[in-house]
Amino acid sequence: MGIAKGKQSLQDRVTQQWVILTGKKINTEDFSWLLGPFGETDGIGDRFIQDLAKKEGLRIDTVEINKGLIQSINQLNLRKEELSILPLSIVDFYENTSNYHLELRVKWNPFFKIFGVLLRLIFSKRIQQLNVPLQNSKDSDELTNQIIHLKDKKTDEVKRTIWLRKIKSTAQVVYSGVYETCILPSGQACVKAIFPLPNGSATVILTPKVTDKGHLILESSGKEIGDSGFYFLLSDSNDQLWAKFIKSFKDTLILKEVNDGILATQKLTIWGLRLVEFEYKINKK
């Protein structure tokens, strides 16, 4: 059995040992589609970007416009019929994300709000990651929206794309995630969002589809490891990799074009019950 690394906080060691006890040992060859950067034990936030660039020998691109979560919508391998009805505004948002302004509203299920409180008390404030607002918002909170590309120093090729979002009024990091596409063992193209944690990550893999109304849906609805869904990953004291697939946790994001921009609704559920819902108003700057 693996043992979590020792030089870190007790709460991190406990959660990582749980992943080892209940998860699966994996290797880099068979699970390359799942892997991504891990965080350090002394916090994530802004510092993670500098650490990752240094570790992988990459250059941080400081240009602030015309940067997307993906280089091309074609990376999602959507059918021709889907591409033909997908609004150009949604395509442009994914290909030029940095050119947009974001506002966030949060609606918690009161029965599960304790999860958000515990997340903040135990992890979020300490590691500067996943600082989700705890109060239901009548008015939207403005978010900063920064896309950071880490590039090869010689070829200038984009190697990593980081989406950093903070509450503008408090500068608290809501999300600091690495975004890319991946191909599941089934051959399905997906969006992969990697949120670094100490010695590991929380990784969400989302399957894309377009409805007949032109709405883009990204959802993690898999049933087992190898499917889209929510994963915890970590490296133990012997640098062995472990993965835990959380079947009960689902993430559904729906983007639709509205008169004044894009409206994105993200619903997180656990055991089939709504945990929290996020509503993003997205407008071009």
Least confident of 70-74, 171-175, 187-191: 171-175
The pairing of beta strand 100-108 with beta strand 200-210: unpaired
Residue 212 lies in a domain: yes
Within a domain: 280: yes
What's the total number of domains in the chain? Answer: 1
The stretch 166-187 carries a mean pLDDT of 89
Q: Is residue 5 part of a domain?
A: no
Best CA proximity match to 16, nearest among 234, 168, 191, 165: 234
Checking if the pLDDT of 132 tops 70, the result is: no
Q: Picking from 105-119, 128-142, 152-166, 225-239, which range would have the lowest pLDDT averaged per residue?
A: 128-142
Domain that holds residue 23: 10-284
For 57, what's the count of Cα atoms within 13 Å in the CB-facing half-sphere? 4
Helix ranges (H only) for 86-132 are 88-95, 113-119, 125-127
Q: Determine the 3-state secondary structure of 219 from DSSP.
A: strand
Mean pLDDT for the stretch of residues 25-50: 86
**Better pLDDT: 278 or 40:** 278
Phi, psi of 191 (to 5 degrees): -90, 135
User: pLDDT confidence of 258, banded at 50, 70, 90?
Assistant: very high
pLDDT of residue 45: 62
Task: Give me the sign of the Cα torsion angle 106, 107, 112, 117.
Answer: positive
Would you say residue 195 lies in a domain? yes
Residue 3 placed within a domain = no
Residue 168 lies in a domain: yes
Average confidence (pLDDT) over 91-105 = 97
Assess if residue 215 is contained within a domain: yes
Are 191 and 179 within 8 A, CB to CB? yes
In a domain, 1, yes or no: no
